[in-house]
Amino acid sequence: MGDLTYTNSMMNEIRELLLNARQHVAVQVNTELLSTYWNVGRIIVEHEQENKERADYGKQTLKQLSKDLTKEFGKGFSVSNLQFMRRFYQNYQIQQTVSVKLSWSHYCELLTISDADKRSFYEKESINSGWSIRELKRQISTSLYERLLLSEGKTNKETVLALAEKGIEMATPLDIIKDPYVFEFLGVPENKPMLESDLEKALVAQIEKFLLELGRGFMFVGTQQRITLNNTHYYVDMVFYNKILRAYVLIELKTTKLMPEAAGQLNMYLNYYAAEINDEHDNPPIGIILCTDKDSVAAEYALGGLSNNIFASRYVSYIPNKEQLVAQVEAVLNEWNKPE
């Protein structure tokens, strides 16, 4: 009994030590990240002000800056993220007004709000209530600010606020440490979502093998490639680059029947790649949706802004046709569903 008490005592002391250390590291990293991105925004704004006479200066320069920074420092410097840094400085020109209690994800979400009073309200509530980024998004989407404005009298406003905070989710040091923005800032590999099942892993392996063995210029970029749009993180299941076409090929796996919204989402990814990832010599990316529902295996193309005529004349010689792709999916499903 004595040994057990002694062990529990040590465990409690070490636990407290580790939790305090993680808290300290998270705060330090977050403070440095916010300070650095504020200063990046300051540099961008100051250079733009010096070049006002050039109407296209801002857009073109940010795109080139994004490519140069990404080449040297890795992810984290997409055009959209640089635009957030610029807006960050423009809205918080006194650096001391930035709260280190909030993460970069919080500020990116807040900066999507154009109304200064509304933004200030959500910022103060996030700080005072310790909202996680997920909770901040929930409160904005449920129009807490507008509901409070419409509430007549102090009692009603307190009631609305109390009801809103029933679902409160407090931010923790782990929220900051696991934030994809922090992984980018530190230059360490991100903890990507895992493929959901062994079947998905088998499909990815089969499609990769098939495309690389076609001998038509395919190079595998990777799985679960992150795209951040409006401060929301998405992951493309598979990304290839075709060096003959000079085009990215994005592949999404769907384990349910093919729904119209799947094409809409993939086209959103294609627009991102065209704007953020493509260089000046790249052609428009294309997308492929593979529906792996065993009763309705299907393959569909998403062309982004590419016309059907250009796709037919330029791409079809190198991109496998739907029948070939469906056959690959069916081969994996047949193997998977084979009786033991």
Pairing relation of β-strands 218-229 and 232-242?
A: antiparallel
- In angstroms, rounded to a whole number, what is the distance separating the alpha carbons of residues 74 and 313? 35
**Mean of the per-residue pLDDT values of the chain:** 83
For residue range 162-205, what is the model confidence (pLDDT) as tens digits? Answer: 655 665 666 766 667 677 888 788 776 666 665 556 778 888 88
* pTM for this model (two decimals): 0.71
Amino acid at 262: A
**pLDDT over 90 for what percent of the chain?**
22
Whether the Cβ atoms of residue 311 and residue 321 lie closer than 8 Å to each other: no
Alpha-carbon distance values, 248 to 133, 159, 214, 220, 332 (Å) = 32, 52, 16, 10, 25
Whether the Cβ atoms of residue 235 and residue 192 lie closer than 8 Å to each other: yes
For residue range 102-124, what is the model confidence (pLDDT) as tens digits? Answer: 999 999 999 999 888 889 989 99
- pLDDT the model gives residue 158: 67
